[in-house]
Structure 1
Amino acid sequence: MADPFGAVPGAVIDDAGLQHVGNPLAEQRALAQGAAVAPLGDRRVLVVSGEDRLTWLDSLTSQAVAGLAPGESTELLVLDPQGRVEHAASVVDDGESAWLIVDRADAEPLLAWLRRMRFRLRVDPRDADDEVAVVGGTAAALAAVAPAAPSGIPLVWRDPWPAVSAGGHAYAPNDGHPGLERDWSEAIVPRAEWAALAARAAAGEVALAGLQAADALRVAAWRPRWAREVDERSLPHESDWLRTAVHLSKGCYRGQETVAKVHNLGHPPRRLVALQLDGSDSVLPAPGDEVRIGDDVVGAVTSAALHFEEGPIALAIVRRSTPVDAGLVVATADGELAAAQEAIVPPDAGATAYVPRITRLSRRAAAQRQP
């Protein structure tokens, strides 16, 4: 199926969708200011209908969703028995069905797992990719699109990040958190509306931003994502995901014992950091590039972007023991990049961790910290 946004002037399309329309930095600014919307072709929507859907999802996942009100937004994780992240989903319920927005690569594995877990309950998980698509932007900008509303409730998911949801816990400081500056929602739209948005954009009636712009704003907000920050070892604690995706005092679910033990009695073995990168050579690292202190590999980049205000930035997972004041180096295919870190998750992360207020690093301050 051809991507309808290919007809938009300047559009660059790949398998994930619309990457940009000619100027990713300008698109970031427009997206942040509510002057553009982003077709999120790298997302996919699953639907769970049936009377038992919310209590069923509550019993299987990290989030308390049994009492989720129609139109309310949350997110959840599916963990393995050792508490590692297997799947993630953004959730909005319309009173009759729960709609799950997931990263495209996770859709089929998550759907297969949900179907295996139905047992004799009144639930029906299915793929809605042929019916709907996802558009992102500020709440005001999404007024330019008409979300699906099969039960009379507009299907718009409002990102709770970085607020601490009921039952959650924050490891990063709340005061000065960069995510507070990010206004982000995702509208689930009928496929006909998706095509109509592309036609309006091609006619110059609505401004678009690509996936590169949307992801740059996410990275700047320290917002974890399944497609980037999750690997086979990931615990939700490591990326500060307890604040929005985990309810620490709800009933049992798979992986719950590990979640509680790491939070209350220990520390996650790795931690997420934000990196301000040396931009003098216009080089960005790729996910998986090694993060080093001298010759010692201490972690790897998970996401990287060229931000319209902050310049080259990245998120990385590093060993818990990595000193918070250490100057880091990222090994890229084009050479080494100096990197100054901001500790998103502190080394002593846990129920009693002291989380100081962190002053945001300017690009100049980051450069001055490099040896």
Structure 2
Amino acid sequence: MTLVGDLHEAHGATFRDVDGARVVEDYGRPERTHRAVRNVVGVTEMGYGVVEVTGEDRVEYVDNVVSNRVPDEDGEGVYGLLLEPEGGVRADLYCFTAGERLLLFTPPSLAGEIADEWAERTFIQDVEVREATTDFGVFGVHGPKATEKVASVFSTQTPDRQLTFERGVLGDSGATVVRTDGLTGEEGYEVVCAAEDAEDVFDTLLTRGMNAAPFGYRTWETLTLEAGTPLFATELRGNVPNVVGLGNAVDYEKGCFVGQEVVSRVHNRGRPSRRLVGIEFEAGDAVPEAGATLTHDGDEVGSVTRAAESPSLERPVALAFADYGFEGETVDVDGAGAATVATLPFVEGSDESARRPRY
């Protein structure tokens, strides 16, 4: 899916597949790159799928499907979910109102499926839906100096509210700059451009104005782990949003989206079956596998969703689902030994992740 493979390779990139998209794994020495993003700023190519929705009834149609309120004002966006009837997360997405169209940024493998399904269900509404993944390049800019980096190359003032955007020129190309919702625990922006302008935009972000370090998905995953951000593939998919603590993704007053009855019932009860917690190890301990069992006093109390060596803390950390009523301060983790239940985020940066679990 990458639009700038030659530029990535020139920087020494290796690649892997993420949810059907070819993305950069790293550029070598990912721990050093991680610290560069934490301390200054880095740039990465994002592997989104994109769905475009047009027509007079576009806002009403999408609002009736997703879990959050879709904005109708140009330049505004929202984070929301597509849910199964039983309440589990089918997809997460960002929806932006861009003039006479809505642009939805989805997991890459689901964009075509969503577009085809919605196109078949518009009935008498004035709505047209198509997959537009190959139309756009999207680059993330993250770090405590992200605002200075973007401001040094963008013709327009950077947006100051999360999930709002400004249009302008970046390098020699038209671009839209979106203020992100802090998923890495640092200030963040995403730069959206036409696919044919992707090389110019990526090169500009790396080399013009304030320099920035290129980083790949391995660093993205350790940054978001340290920030306590649940991701679609590892924590969100198939889980009821209340279990993941995704209060920012659901408008409980809407009452008109698929799965609403289930998530509202759990919300009103105030007690999901499980909750997402942080697990912190000692330096030198093994990194547990995803799915590793948590026990306390011999009783099973949960399981790991993902884990990694934290470059910032120089010890392993993990996210895990634990029984909602579990209040112990320590656990034993299969394959890794004793660990401490930690308060999220593991690392406090220049911003706070809007997805950090809240119960």
- State whether residues 226 and 347 of structure 2, in contact with CA within 8 Å, keep that contact through their aligned partners in structure 1: no
Output the aligned Cα RMSD: 3.3
Q: 1:38 to 1:161 in 2, by over 3 A?
A: closer
Alpha-carbon distance in 1 for matches of 2:122, 2:290: 35
SS at match of 1:130: helix
Q: 1:155 to 1:240 in 2, by over 3 A?
A: farther
After TM superposition, the score normalised by the length of structure 1 is 0.75
Q: 1:259 to 1:324 in 2, by over 3 A?
A: same
- State whether residues 227 and 346 of structure 2, in contact with CA within 8 Å, keep that contact through their aligned partners in structure 1: no
SS at match of 2:261: helix
Tell me what 1:50 maps to.
55
- Residue deviations 1:118-158, cap 9 Å, x none? 222222222222211221123523455899969xx954443
Alpha-carbon distance in 1 for matches of 2:95, 2:37: 22
Q: 1:83 to 1:294 in 2, by over 3 A?
A: same
Structure 1 segments unaligned to the other structure (5+ residues):
163-178, 345-357, 362-371
Tell me what 2:313 maps to.
310
Tell me what 1:259 maps to.
263
- State whether residues 49 and 106 of structure 2, in contact with CA within 8 Å, keep that contact through their aligned partners in structure 1: yes
Q: 1:257 to 1:207 in 2, by over 3 A?
A: same
Tell me what 2:45 maps to.
39
Tell me what 1:364 maps to.
none
* Higher strand residue share: 2
Q: How many residue pairs get matched?
A: 321
- State whether residues 44 and 134 of structure 1, in contact with CA within 8 Å, keep that contact through their aligned partners in structure 2: no
The farther-off stretch of 53-62 and 32-41 is 32-41
The farther-off stretch of 253-262 and 29-38 is 29-38
Q: 1:249 to 1:256 in 2, by over 3 A?
A: same
- The answer to whether structure 1 residue 59 and structure 2 residue 64 are counterparts is yes
SS at match of 1:60: coil
Tell me what 1:246 maps to.
250
Tell me what 1:347 maps to.
none
Shift of 1:184: 2.4
Shift of 1:203: 7.9
- State whether residues 332 and 339 of structure 2, in contact with CA within 8 Å, keep that contact through their aligned partners in structure 1: yes
Alpha-carbon distance in 2 for matches of 1:80, 1:12: 35
Alpha-carbon distance in 2 for matches of 1:142, 1:360: 24
SS at match of 2:197: helix
Shift of 1:76: 0.8
Shift of 1:219: 1.6
Shift of 1:280: 0.6
The farther-off stretch of 26-35 and 213-222 is 26-35
The farther-off stretch of 43-52 and 293-302 is 293-302
Alpha-carbon distance in 2 for matches of 1:203, 1:266: 49
Shift of 1:275: 1.5
Alpha-carbon distance in 2 for matches of 1:115, 1:264: 34
- State whether residues 236 and 244 of structure 2, in contact with CA within 8 Å, keep that contact through their aligned partners in structure 1: no
Shift of 1:302: 1.9
After TM superposition, the score normalised by the length of structure 2 is 0.77
Alpha-carbon distance in 1 for matches of 2:343, 2:196: 44
Tell me what 1:114 maps to.
118
- State whether residues 31 and 214 of structure 1, in contact with CA within 8 Å, keep that contact through their aligned partners in structure 2: no
- The answer to whether structure 1 residue 270 and structure 2 residue 274 are counterparts is yes
Alpha-carbon distance in 2 for matches of 1:18, 1:125: 29
Structure 2 segments unaligned to the other structure (5+ residues):
156-164, 169-173, 349-359
- The answer to whether structure 1 residue 195 and structure 2 residue 216 are counterparts is no
Q: 1:296 to 1:155 in 2, by over 3 A?
A: farther
1:84 counterpart letter in structure 2 = G
Aligned runs of 1:300-339 on 2, under 5 Å?
Answer: 300-311=303-314, 312-321=316-325, 323-331=326-334, 335-339=335-339
- The answer to whether structure 1 residue 340 and structure 2 residue 332 are counterparts is no
